[in-house]
Chain A
Amino acid sequence: MLFAMSIYWHLPLMLLVISLVYSATRHEQWDEILGEAFRWGIRMFGFMLVVALVLYGASLLWP
């Protein structure tokens, strides 16, 4: 039920589209586009993970 309803399943799609489109506007060769997209994907995922962990920690401290 949680897996079916969670809005977080939409986030990887946003991450994929933003990193791919952004990288494709900065490079012309596909290997460069995909490499840059991968790096941006990792950065954004890491940022979102940190935010999620901070919010989770806050919810434990102040339920």
Chain B
Amino acid sequence: MSAPLLSLRHLTVDYATDRGTARAVDSVSLDVASGETVALVGESGSGKTTLALSLLGLLPEPPARVAPESRIEYQGANLAGGDNASWRRVRGREMGMVFQDPSLSLNPVLTVGSQVAEVVRTHSKCTRREATTRAAELLAMVGVDSPALRARQYAHQLSGGLRQRAMIAIALAGEPKLLIADEPTAALDVTVQAQIVELLAELRRRLGMAVLLVTHDFGLVAQMADRVVVMYAGQVAEMAPAPVVFSGAAHPYTQGLLLAARGGAGSAERRLAAIPGAPPAATAWPSACRFHPRCARAWNHCRAEAPQLERVSEGHDARCWLVSEPAGETGGRPS
């Protein structure tokens, strides 16, 4: 494999809160290759959105603070700790971003077309007229009907699906090599979700760009992802090629997420498939293995010592004692 497009090493983000420091992202290392789609999966509060925002230097600092040892390498150059000027060189033209709720991420007082054109003009030297033409082309590319008309409309005049398409057009206006999509379908109707997923998959094929997909929806992962990174409590819990995750997830948390997503045939089974308990708060991660309070398969070792990411097979790592001590589970009980 050639050098990755984006490479995170020991990315750590702390938030200063009233109740002490919250380590929202804890030493996360991962790579995204050119043209690859990586899904970042986890529950609310697992740090995935914080991670996505930190990639473009968008975290409000303070209260957020990216630890000095963190490295965010884009095409080999470290972005972490850079100033606004250095961030602006990558924002939009190298990495584009699509946000969760298009009704909030489009400016209510500007026409959709002018918002696309504005990003076009920021990243390429062209006249106002050329930018307007390009904006309509981009809107057409993301499947907006009668783009010239839609370009003159405001966000509130568009449906949820059209808004998200417009937002994707804006994110693509700088022709980025990596698209960061933070829960791009979470705020949409189920029927529209499928269309947006299809659009993203098609755009990725056509434009050959890499996608970092932040989501908690395994349906989305199944349709798009080449590789899956599962986050729990700010750490990488498991990371594997997508088919491997679906056929043989090693971490009980990943297994739980998959079960919850698939459910069973009946509603009773679906309810049983939920992971017990709630995600922990970032101010007080559980000691040792952070998942042990909610893990059905936890034993003494899980409560005593934090597991490291262990290699399960080539390209497949999991942070669980079951990987290195598969017998521990039975041997350790009862505790």
State whether these chains interact.
no
Binding site for B on A (CB under 8 A): none
Binding site for A on B (CB under 8 A): none
